[in-house]
Amino acid sequence: MFFRWDWLRPQLTAPIVPTLGPIHPDALTVSVFEDTLRAADTGDFLPYDKDRRWGGEKDEKVLREDVVHQPEHTLVPTLTRRGRGTVKVFAYGLRDSVMEEAAELAAKLVAAYDVAGGRVIRPLGPGTAHPRGTRIQLKNFTARPCPAPDGPVRSVTAWPAAVQETFAPFAEAMAGDGLAFLHDQMRADRCGPVLAAAIEGRIVGAIGPMDVRPDAFGRPQLMPQYFAVLPEARGQGLGRVLWRAAMYWGQSRGAAYQLLQTEVGGPSDRLCRAEGLSALGFTHTVPV
């Protein structure tokens, strides 16, 4: 075993794992970290990796030989060759000095692997004052029922053909939110259903794909979705209706929970806070 749990566990202020992202706090075990090292050796997806649903090969891997694991802090670097390449260093530790050490490691690895840039990612606890970056949130489907909402929302394929045809320009307009990528996956039939809101015969919002898969412990998890509403259609409650429709979909298909990452202070963040999700912590990312 590479990681000492008595060293690492006190440093895990938020449940985020390199190459995997947020995981349920109950699944935050040393075996999950060990799994990421084994996946780096084989190049395969872990069975519970959220990116597995897109197919292909796992792009991001842990740089096992460059991991720094000490009693006071742990630095876990990863490498992706997508685009011009990126090194990320996940900085686990309670002292602020961990950021400086992580930045030094990231800069060294950017040069060593000849990639375009690097980032330091630091998990922070849920009680962090004046947080920045992204908030990790938990939706617990076992806590209370999620009723079906009223509103102009249905699966894209359930809308009339003329309405379905408006998804392409909507996705292109919201490419920055991942909808163009999602549309590519839909056309290739590589993902589950996508829920869409339409007004006057035109799709103006969407959330998806809808998919429930087992986590590291075998519990059914509603996988993260892409979620966007056209700017000109905001302020009408469509985001909330789409969100609630997705939660109803997940609960009705046996999901136990969902994990989300939202930009602190952004529209999705405010919606999730208003809907009563539990904050598990934050991630603060600094470019190198």
Question: Which residue among 133, 165, 197 closes a domain?
Answer: 133
Residue 54 confidence class, pLDDT cut points 50, 70, 90: confident
**163-195 residue pLDDT tens:** 999 999 999 999 999 999 999 999 999 899 999
User: DSSP string covering 103-140, please?
Assistant: HHHHHHHHHHHT-SEEEEEEEE-TT-SS--SEEEEEEE
Give backbone dihedrals phi and psi of 174, rounded to 5 degrees, phi first.
Answer: -110, 30
Residues 124 and 159 placed together within one structural domain of the fold? no
Residues 123 and 197 placed together within one structural domain of the fold? no
Residues 114 and 156 placed together within one structural domain of the fold? no
Residues 147 and 113 placed together within one structural domain of the fold? no
Question: What CATH number corresponds to the domain at position 235?
Answer: 3.40.630.30
Rounded to the nearest 5 degrees, what angle is found at the Cα of 178, between the Cα atoms of 187 and 114?
Answer: 110
Paired with 90 in beta bridges are 76, 121
Residues 122 and 172 placed together within one structural domain of the fold? no
Residues 110 and 200 placed together within one structural domain of the fold? no
- Whether 1 shows a pLDDT value over 80: the answer reads no
Residues 92 and 176 placed together within one structural domain of the fold? no
User: Which pLDDT does position 43 carry in this prediction?
Assistant: 86
Residues 9 and 128 placed together within one structural domain of the fold? yes
> Is residue 13, in this structure, part of any structural domain at all?
yes
- Taking the C-alpha atoms of residue 134 and residue 282, their distance in angstroms, rounded to an integer, is 5
Taking the chain, what is the end-to-end CA distance rounded to the nearest angstrom? 31
Residues 104 and 148 placed together within one structural domain of the fold? no
**222-273 residue pLDDT tens:** 999 999 999 999 999 999 999 999 999 999 999 999 999 999 999 899 999 9
Structural domain span for residue 193: 143-255
With pLDDT > 90 as the criterion, what percentage of the chain qualifies?
A: 92
> Is residue 274, in this structure, part of any structural domain at all?
no
CA torsion through residues 88, 91, 97, 102, sign: negative
Residues 151 and 98 placed together within one structural domain of the fold? no
> Is residue 260, in this structure, part of any structural domain at all?
no
Phi-psi region of 24 (alpha: psi -120 to 50; beta: other; left: phi over 0): beta
> Is residue 275, in this structure, part of any structural domain at all?
no
Question: Which residue among 111, 133, 155 closes a domain?
Answer: 133
Residues 170 and 219 placed together within one structural domain of the fold? yes
Cβ-Cβ contacts under 8 Å for 276 (sequence gap 6 or more)? none
Residues 150 and 229 placed together within one structural domain of the fold? yes
> Is residue 266, in this structure, part of any structural domain at all?
no
pTM of the model: 0.92
> Is residue 267, in this structure, part of any structural domain at all?
no
Pick the more confident residue, 238 or 55: 238
> Is residue 269, in this structure, part of any structural domain at all?
no
> Is residue 286, in this structure, part of any structural domain at all?
no
Paired with 282 in beta bridges are 124, 135
Q: How many domains does the chain have?
A: 2
**97-131 residue pLDDT tens:** 999 999 999 999 999 999 999 999 999 999 999 99
Mean pLDDT of 48-64: 91
